Amino acid sequence: MNLSELKIAKALDLDNRVSQYHAQFKFGPYRLDFAVLLLSGNGLFSWIDIEVDGPYHRLPEARKRDKERDGWLREWGWVIVRIPYGHEHTISRTIDTVLTSNNPVNGARDAAAARCELRRRTREVERGTMAKLL
């Protein structure tokens, strides 16, 4: 983890809206910087992918790859949040924005159900990925 990611991890540890998070979470062909289980104001839990983007992500080929990646993850119900490297101080405001926006979130009524749903989707993605390789 770089310094910016460590600061975000600390902020996530202190935020009571964060039920849990996983750093460097593998989902299908991608590795998410932070997979965050977030409790929204309406009592639903949602999975958020928080990405810390360094200067590399400003390059045209990286932007194209990020757009494809984000689209694929959104199809699986993830809300994607990209934070530029060095802007980790905005994490609390960013979570506020996610919670108050009209993003299509994949809501579960409790944290256990949200964790089960993530495990189910991860297995489903892995089976699909393996089927494509065969």
Domains and CATH numbers, the chain: 3-133 (3.40.1350)
Residue 130 has pLDDT above 50, yes or no: no
* Cα–Cα dist 118/97, whole Å: 23
Residue of 97 and 30 predicted with greater confidence:
30
Contacts of residues 26-31 at CB distance under 8 Å and 24 or more positions apart, as own/partner, are 27/73, 27/76, 27/78, 27/121, 27/122, 27/125, 28/72, 28/76, 28/122, 28/125, 28/126, 28/128, 28/129, 29/129, 30/69, 30/72, 30/73
Decide: helix, strand or coil at residue 64: helix
Amino acid 107: pLDDT: 58
Structural tokens at position 51: 């990405």
Amino acid 32: pLDDT: 94
End-to-end C-alpha distance for the chain, whole angstroms:
33
Residue of 125 and 25 predicted with greater confidence:
25
Residue 132 has pLDDT above 50, yes or no: no
Residue 37 has pLDDT above 80, yes or no: yes
- Tokens 């360094």: give the residue: 54
Residue of 103 and 122 predicted with greater confidence:
122
* Cα–Cα dist 129/29, whole Å: 8
Residue 103 has pLDDT above 60, yes or no: no
* Cα–Cα dist 73/81, whole Å: 11
